[in-house]
Structure 1
């Protein structure tokens, strides 16, 4: 039996998740302490099994991120087996900074790095949006720590333990923001992404609950963590799972948050520290130094991205200002400016001659009439390429409009016959192969002849019409 197709219903996965969550939570609540450890360890292995099954069935095509996720989850499961009392004995949430805390935090980091690898392709289509979302998540984590976590840590908490717990909260909040942003743009993957958002939300909530229940029962903490593991297992089973790592193009109309809102969010953590300093009601918070180490590089990256985008936009606008949109040749304004530059150089004695060639296509209109405008555009683009090849680096080619082209030369061989021969070569278009002709008129200016740009173009135009007055070029034919 093959893996469900992308069009298969997702409700069996939802129903199976709910059933397994109910069985696990009920079993854990009713079991004795030793059996609870076994149940918890088995639940942590569920996402590993689902990922390996999906990989084995080739349902997940981008294998590396999913294998890295399996490695991170395996690391967490091993930690759970080696230290089964981590949650039952309230070490989770105490921020003790023990070896267990360090190992679990490292395992969590491996998994988060694999998640970042899985989502990396989304960053290619929406890098700014992902950075903004991560920054909003980081900024939201500050108040969460200061109001719900930090003040409630017990005396067993150490500086290392606080830093590990805070880093976990900050990274989870950033990942949660990115997942929500991707869900906005990658509509086809919203099912799997929804489960990942739920996993991050449950894990963040459990960080808070674990701190508040250190002196009470650990059952709720373990049950919520098990639910997080189960929601983490579900995405790989959904038909749309491959879309997590294979995003489509970002939909049009997706906007970035105003920079003013982003700036206000970035002020949240410094404002918290400032209020604490004014009130002098406790020790300095670790939020500002830890979050700053994470936020500042991201802000620098965002500014760098804005700079690159602006430079690319300016380059695009500059190109559009001087080039024809269809053919990529110089447009009328720029090619006329090139003629003026050449005439000025001629007057200064920097060059010995300036030649202008006007090229008008013969038999182009029947191509449009018979094969359509798409074929006509293809003919114009092909002619533009051939003219550029004929002129080489020592001249300039522009499009005046329609099927009229102009070439500017400052010395060199006469190109009239070469251009005419190149244009007459067959051109393949949808529906057939056509041949067109070209009427080329040339005019040359020398130092001291008293000519200007207008007179030079006028002479080339007259020469072109003289060529056009000769026997007509045959209409395009299909070969």
Structure 2
């Protein structure tokens, strides 16, 4: 990937865009029918140049999707070469090869742009789907009550289908771009120009359909303004930021989003119902086409909500059984496991149950001298070391504070004395903490239950606790 080069300041990009817009808005109507195709060709070629320049100097990371977008721009340039007056006939819905090629070009550019900003959108997938649904719902009335009534009588079904798909997709894209821009400030300049492109293209389409007497000058000027906005997008200094994901947003499932899904599913049927009440017939393509676009998004939204719920349940289940600081099993879980192990011992499924109660020596001075962050680092290091020295099937948990408990099911491969020594040696190794390297010791009390003994969890833990404190007393006597 080429390293980003210095780009023009934002104010210069804005000023150049406005100046170019003023020149084109003046030159196009004054050029006359003979020269207007040449003006259009120059303007349509401009974004191809600016995108390729931005790709060359590294201002647009993720080259492949942007090259796909450029391919769409090149196809629009080819259309201008082959059909010079297409830009004034956007809303005619004639179903010609021009319409099909233009729709394909729009699709290429939009797909390339969508892939390029996917990382930016990935931080808020639910919001992106909601924004797309909002755009689709807004596009329905625009088509049904603004565009369709003003289509020419010779508009074909295929042409209407292509035009409707263009309108709905552009509305959805505009909604998504607005949502992405709301998520973080970085890249908003480029996103704003892309947003302007979508809005100006929609405005050009509507103006073309409403143009009195078939004049398409106004729609052509709006479309040329859209091309100028595309040309400015990669030149803005924030262009590189549109592919950088913003900070993770709150993905909490909200009730109003479920209501929004209901609104999205109901929008097109409601419009169809209004048509029926007005006795406008049922020939509109909005209901089938709009539904084909809305339903997959709604299903994707429901799937995302379901995944979020499952993840929340897994998170709750994890926190219910694990210690937040060390990620070991917590007191509730490990005491339940001791009860289960003793039950297996009584049923003959186990030949021995051993618990080892570990209490750190010298932990409080570390906490007092270096602070709680250092103490937390020690606890996490000890947790990892205890997990590393026990058997794979043994269970290590944190009871609280600097107390740990190890549950060993069965006697196979277990030597409590040797394991106690390994624990002491392992825990004693130096531990790096913020601002220092410290060392702590550990005293371990061992208690065992064998078949035929009548012992419960409290009794077994009490034995281990007694053994642990006996060990501490013996150590204190040794060093006194």
User: Shift in Å at residue 380 of structure 1?
Assistant: 0.7
The 1:181/1:473 distance shift into structure 2, 3 A limit, reads farther
Task: Report the TM-score, using the length of structure 2 for normalisation.
Answer: 0.94
Given candidates 193, 207, 211, the residue that maps to 1:209 is 207
The answer to whether residue 432 in structure 2 is matched with residue 418 in structure 1 is no
RMSD of the alignment, in Å? 2.0
Task: Report the TM-score, using the length of structure 1 for normalisation.
Answer: 0.94
Q: Counterpart of 1:49 in 2: which secondary structure?
A: helix
User: Shift in Å at residue 55 of structure 1?
Assistant: 1.4
2:219 corresponds in structure 1 to: 221
Contact kept in structure 2, 1:359 and 1:406, CA below 8 Å: yes
Contact kept in structure 2, 1:97 and 1:164, CA below 8 Å: yes
Mapped partners of 1:410, 1:87: distance in 2: 78
Count of equivalent residues: 470
1:440 corresponds in structure 2 to: 444
User: Shift in Å at residue 264 of structure 1?
Assistant: 2.1
Mapped partners of 2:394, 2:310: distance in 1: 28
Q: Deviations over 1:266-322 (max 9, x none)?
A: 311111112223433234210011111111111111111111111111000000001
The answer to whether residue 132 in structure 2 is matched with residue 134 in structure 1 is yes
Contact kept in structure 2, 1:346 and 1:446, CA below 8 Å: yes
Mapped partners of 2:317, 2:158: distance in 1: 53
Given candidates 170, 193, 196, the residue that maps to 2:194 is 196
Mapped partners of 2:223, 2:110: distance in 1: 16
Mapped partners of 1:397, 1:426: distance in 2: 21
1:174 corresponds in structure 2 to: 172
Contact kept in structure 2, 1:80 and 1:86, CA below 8 Å: yes
Segments of 5+ residues of structure 1 without an aligned counterpart are: none
Mapped partners of 1:29, 1:95: distance in 2: 24
The 1:4/1:138 distance shift into structure 2, 3 A limit, reads same
The 1:474/1:83 distance shift into structure 2, 3 A limit, reads farther
The 1:347/1:283 distance shift into structure 2, 3 A limit, reads closer
User: Shift in Å at residue 399 of structure 1?
Assistant: 0.4
2:407 corresponds in structure 1 to: 408
Q: Counterpart of 1:357 in 2: which secondary structure?
A: strand
Contact kept in structure 2, 1:136 and 1:262, CA below 8 Å: no
User: Shift in Å at residue 447 of structure 1?
Assistant: 1.6
The answer to whether residue 466 in structure 2 is matched with residue 462 in structure 1 is yes
Contact kept in structure 2, 1:186 and 1:250, CA below 8 Å: no
The answer to whether residue 396 in structure 2 is matched with residue 392 in structure 1 is no
Mapped partners of 2:75, 2:302: distance in 1: 36
Q: Deviations over 1:411-461 (max 9, x none)?
A: 231221221121112222232322211000000011222111111111100
The 1:441/1:254 distance shift into structure 2, 3 A limit, reads closer
Aligned ranges 1:298-447 → 2 under 5 Å:
298-412=297-411, 413=414, 414=416, 415-447=419-451
Mapped partners of 2:298, 2:251: distance in 1: 24
Contact kept in structure 1, 2:193 and 2:232, CA below 8 Å: yes
Q: Deviations over 1:18-75 (max 9, x none)?
A: 1001111111110122211011011011111111111111122222222221111111
Contact kept in structure 1, 2:124 and 2:251, CA below 8 Å: no
User: Shift in Å at residue 474 of structure 1?
Assistant: 12
Mapped partners of 2:477, 2:222: distance in 1: 82
User: Shift in Å at residue 334 of structure 1?
Assistant: 0.8
Given candidates 234, 243, 246, the residue that maps to 1:245 is 243
Mapped partners of 1:87, 1:354: distance in 2: 83
Mapped partners of 2:66, 2:444: distance in 1: 62
1:53 corresponds in structure 2 to: 53
Q: Counterpart of 2:391 in 1: which secondary structure?
A: helix
Mapped partners of 1:445, 1:319: distance in 2: 29
Contact kept in structure 2, 1:130 and 1:181, CA below 8 Å: yes
1:452 corresponds in structure 2 to: 456
The runs of 4+ residues in structure 1 deviating greater than 6 Å are 253-256
1:235 corresponds in structure 2 to: 233
